[in-house]
């Protein structure tokens, strides 16, 4: 079924003008004035398309289209907030692709068995309350565990009661679908148009501390040194080598590293860095850590300390939904691949309570969180039509 790409384009550009700065980037940070303005504008747009719409106390925008039967709803959505100086597509695309599906159903006067709900989440990008705040509260997970949450909420004019009022009954939801840009270069590099997501990677982070011996950089011969930075460099290459050998979708990254004492004329006595690992398979993360520990155990001249910082398990998408999406691509002769998501998404939070499916469209150069973020209108049209077919297919009784 054909969607109207020109209408979709108009809508996404309209909301994209809110929070746009001189560099062409968009800053629509969670709970900001720009976010609230965009949410109000989106509410009007939802209503113009016949959706009964409300903005919940924490800023999620929810539009509802009635179904023929009294059934749990098919839910579609993504997030409306952006990072600072972000792009047009990350988050917003999933909302407007969903809206376009609904508009197309309206145009063709198609009724579905299930109600359809379209959600624009707030605060998916990192904030004081952590990422995917809007969807976590919405589906009712995690947020009550955070001890200091109440103080943080106050900063945003929110109460614990607002959170309760923003939480839905998950039994009212049949499934959740999210279309999102890939934010990586895999689809583009391989000339694939649709990524059918089979899961969202788990994230494990360790702080790794290496103690050697600080000493005078002029008077300590090379062979008497216990240079913690040289040891760290060796370990970083080892980690890179093992990570590559594990293969995709496993990734590991060291993005922060500090040296003590950190003077140009003192041999580093201590180095600390954060190792982040992501994969669909926990075994690979454990394998890398085991290999690191085995290797460092052979380095008698240094002391190593490993502290677990974060350990979020991976999440699987619903196999039936995944198969449906793949089958639609096959029928439409669209190049697709089954792939994992390395990034977290609202769908990952929704998966705690309801079956989820995710559709990725290509990101030019793999770039996101930047004004340079780009997905072609052709790729967006493809993705939106796959989303629409998926909704119709899953609307079975």
Cis peptide before 261 (omega within 30 of 0): yes
Among 4-12, 97-105, 158-166, 216-224, the segment contacting a second copy (CB under 8 A): 216-224
Nearer to a second copy, 34 or 227 (CB): 227
For position 244 contacting a second copy by CB under 8 A, the verdict is: yes
For position 308 contacting a second copy by CB under 8 A, the verdict is: no
Q: How far apart are CA 37 and CA 35, in angstroms?
A: 5
For position 259 contacting a second copy by CB under 8 A, the verdict is: yes
- Contact assessment for residue 149 and residue 129, using Cβ atoms and an 8 Å cutoff: yes
Other beta carbons within 10 Å of 170: 17
For position 344 contacting a second copy by CB under 8 A, the verdict is: yes
For position 254 contacting a second copy by CB under 8 A, the verdict is: yes
Residue 134 C-alpha from the chain's centroid: 13
For position 87 contacting a second copy by CB under 8 A, the verdict is: no
For position 333 contacting a second copy by CB under 8 A, the verdict is: no
The 3-state DSSP class for residue 113 equals coil
Sign of the Cα pseudo-torsion (49, 51, 54, 60, in order): negative
Instruction: Name residues contacting a second copy, limited to 168-197 (CB under 8 A).
Output: 182-186, 189
Lookup result for tokens 């004329």: 265
Per-residue DSSP letter, 111: -
Least spacing, CB of residue 221 vs a second copy, in Å? 5
For position 236 contacting a second copy by CB under 8 A, the verdict is: yes
Among 29-37, 75-83, 151-159, 200-208, the segment contacting a second copy (CB under 8 A): 200-208
- Contact assessment for residue 280 and residue 317, using Cβ atoms and an 8 Å cutoff: no
For position 167 contacting a second copy by CB under 8 A, the verdict is: no
Among 76-84, 154-162, 340-348, 389-397, the segment contacting a second copy (CB under 8 A): 340-348
For position 372 contacting a second copy by CB under 8 A, the verdict is: no
Least spacing, CB of residue 131 vs a second copy, in Å? 10
Out of 58, 129, 203, 354, the residue judged to bind a second copy by CB under 8 A: 203
For residue 205, what are its two tokens? 């982070």
Number of residues written out for the chain: 397
Cβ neighbourhood burial of 8 (10 Å; 0-12, 13-18, 19+): buried
Least spacing, CB of residue 22 vs a second copy, in Å? 21
Inter-axis angle of helices 228-246 and 282-297, nearest 10: 150
Question: Residue 389's closest CA among 359, 363, 346?
Answer: 359
* Chain contacts with a second copy (rule: CB under 8 A): 182-186, 189, 201, 203, 205, 215-224, 227, 229-230, 232-234, 236-237, 240, 243-244, 248-257, 259, 261-268, 274, 276, 278, 341-344, 366-369
């Amino acid at each position: 079924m054909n969607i109207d790409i020109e209408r979709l384009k108009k809508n996404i550009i309209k909301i994209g003008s809110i929070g746009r700065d001189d560099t062409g980037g968009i800053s629509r940070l969670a709970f900001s004035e720009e976010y609230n303005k965009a949410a109000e504008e989106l509410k009007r747009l939802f209503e113009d398309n016949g959706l009964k719409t409300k903005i919940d106390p924490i800023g999620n925008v929810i539009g509802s289209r009635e179904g023929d039967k009294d059934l749990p709803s098919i839910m579609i959505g993504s997030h409306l907030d952006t990072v600072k100086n972000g792009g047009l597509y990350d988050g917003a695309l999933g909302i407007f692709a969903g809206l376009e599906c609904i508009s197309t159903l309206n145009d063709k006067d198609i009724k579905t068995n299930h109600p359809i709900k379209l959600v624009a989440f707030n605060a998916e990008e990192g904030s004081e309350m952590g990422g995917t705040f809007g969807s976590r509260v919405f589906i009712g997970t995690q947020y009550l565990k955070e001890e200091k949450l109440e103080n943080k909420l106050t900063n945003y004019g929110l109460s614990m009661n607002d959170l309760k009022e923003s939480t839905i009954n998950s039994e009212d939801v049949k499934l959740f679908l999210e279309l999102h840009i890939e934010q990586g270069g895999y689809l583009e590099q391989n000339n694939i148009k649709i990524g059918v997501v089979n899961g969202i990677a788990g994230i494990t982070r360790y702080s790794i501390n290496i103690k050697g011996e600080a000493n005078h950089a002029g008077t300590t011969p090379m062979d008497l040194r216990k240079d913690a930075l040289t040891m760290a460099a060796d370990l970083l290459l080892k980690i890179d080598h093992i990570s590559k050998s594990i293969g995709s979708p496993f990734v590991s990254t060291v993005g922060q590293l500090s040296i003590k004492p950190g003077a140009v004329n003192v041999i580093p006595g201590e180095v600390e860095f954060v190792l982040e690992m992501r994969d669909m398979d926990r075994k690979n993360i454990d394998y890398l850590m085991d290999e690191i520990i085995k290797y460092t155990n052979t380095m008698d001249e240094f002391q190593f300390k490993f502290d677990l910082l974060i350990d979020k398990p991976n999440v699987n998408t619903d196999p039936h939904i995944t198969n449906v999406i793949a089958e639609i691509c096959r029928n439409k002769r669209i190049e697709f691949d089954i792939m994992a998501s390395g990034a977290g998404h609202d769908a990952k939070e929704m998966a705690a309570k309801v079956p989820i499916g995710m559709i990725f469209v290509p990101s030019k150069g793999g770039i996101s969180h930047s004004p340079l973020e780009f997905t072609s209108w052709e790729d967006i049209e493809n993705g939106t039509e796959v989303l629409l077919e998926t909704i119709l297919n899953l609307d079975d009784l």
